[in-house]
């Protein structure tokens, strides 16, 4: 980030949990989802993802994901899309 042109904030969420099976992307228990945090850039989210993933490396069914939450928002107008 420079002083004249700040980087645009792009919200990323990092979550994880144990999957039902190794090849699936379905969590075994939604009540046990681990919310690592919300981050203003992909690089910050990636560092958090790496840390969480490395702490659970011994559990093959435990997976962490980076969610591009900024894609749910319109960064030009600040409007959000209601579901």
Please indicate whether residue 48 or residue 6 has the higher confidence score (pLDDT). 48
Gyration radius of the chain over CA positions: 15
67-79 pLDDT, tens digit each: 998 887 755 655 5
Q: How far is CA 34 from CA 23, 54, 75, in A?
A: 20, 14, 27
Tokens linked to 71: 């894609």
Q: Tell the CATH superfamily of the 12-72 domain.
A: Uncharacterised protein PF13773, DUF4170 (3.30.70.2400)
Specify the pTM: 0.77
Closest CA to 52 of 33, 30, 68, 71: 33
Q: Check whether 37 has a pLDDT greater than 70.
A: yes
**H-helix or E-strand spanning residue 38:** strand 34-39
Q: Check whether 3 has a pLDDT greater than 80.
A: no
Q: Tell me which DSSP letter residue 40 carries.
A: S
Tokens linked to 56: 């659970």
């Amino acid at each position: 980030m420079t002083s004249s042109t700040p980087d645009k904030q792009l919200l990323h969420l990092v979550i994880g949990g144990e999957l039902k099976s190794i090849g699936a992307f379905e969590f075994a228990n939604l009540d046990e989802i681990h919310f690592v945090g919300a981050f203003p850039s992909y690089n910050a989210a990636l560092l958090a993802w790496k840390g969480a993933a490395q702490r659970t490396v011994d559990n093959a069914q435990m997976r962490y994901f980076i969610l591009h939450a900024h894609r749910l928002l319109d960064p030009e107008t600040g409007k959000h899309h209601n579901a």
